[in-house]
Structure 1
Amino acid sequence: MSRADDAFAWDGDNDPTLDTGAEHPNEAAAPPASDAVGSAESAPAESAEEPESAADVADEENEESAGEVPAGDVAEPRRMGDVALVALGVLGGVYALWTAGWIATALRMRPLAPDAMLTASLALAIAAPIVWFLTSWILTRRRLPWVRFTALVAGIVVLVPWPFVMLGAVGL
Structure 2
Amino acid sequence: MTTRDDDALSWAGDDDPTLVSAPPADEPAAPRRSNADVSAITTTPAAASVPSGNASEPDDTDGDRAAGMSSAALVSLGVLGGIYLLYTIGWIVGGLRMNGVVGFLVAPPSFVPAAIVAVLAPAIWFGVAFLLTRERPSWQRFAWLAAGVVLLVPWPFVMIGTGL
TM-score (norm 1): 0.59
Question: Shift of residue 66 of structure 1?
Answer: 2.6
Does residue 1:96 correspond to 2:112, yes or no?
A: no
Q: Output aligned runs, 1:34-49, within 5 Å.
A: none
Higher helix share: 1
Question: Shift of residue 17 of structure 1?
Answer: 8.9
Question: Shift of residue 75 of structure 1?
Answer: 5.2
Q: Output aligned runs, 1:83-162, within 5 Å.
A: 83-112=72-101, 113=103, 115-162=108-155
Aligned length in residues:
119
Partner residue, 1:164: 157
Aligned residue type for 1:101: G
Aligned residue type for 1:94: I
Partner residue, 1:47: none
Partner residue, 2:5: none
Mark the structure with the bigger radius of gyration: 1
> Is the Cα–Cα contact under 8 Å of residues 99 and 126 in structure 1 kept in the other structure?
yes
Residue in structure 2 matching 1:8, options 13, 16, 24: 24
Question: Shift of residue 107 of structure 1?
Answer: 1.0
Question: Shift of residue 110 of structure 1?
Answer: 2.2
Q: Identity across aligned pairs (percent)?
A: 40
1: distance between equivalents of 2:140 and 2:134? 10
> Is the Cα–Cα contact under 8 Å of residues 133 and 140 in structure 2 kept in the other structure?
yes
Aligned residue type for 2:86: L
> Is the Cα–Cα contact under 8 Å of residues 96 and 129 in structure 1 kept in the other structure?
yes
Question: Shift of residue 71 of structure 1?
Answer: 5.1
Question: Shift of residue 106 of structure 1?
Answer: 1.4
Larger relative contact order, structure 1 or 2 (CA cutoff 8 Å, min sep 6): 2
> Is the Cα–Cα contact under 8 Å of residues 106 and 122 in structure 1 kept in the other structure?
yes
TM-score (norm 2): 0.62
2: distance between equivalents of 1:130 and 1:99? 7
The answer for unaligned runs of 5 or more in structure 2 is 1-22, 34-48
Partner residue, 2:8: none
Q: 1:125 to 1:154 in 2, by over 3 A?
A: same
1: distance between equivalents of 2:143 and 2:32? 46
2: distance between equivalents of 1:94 and 1:129? 9
Q: Secondary structure at the match of 1:60?
A: coil
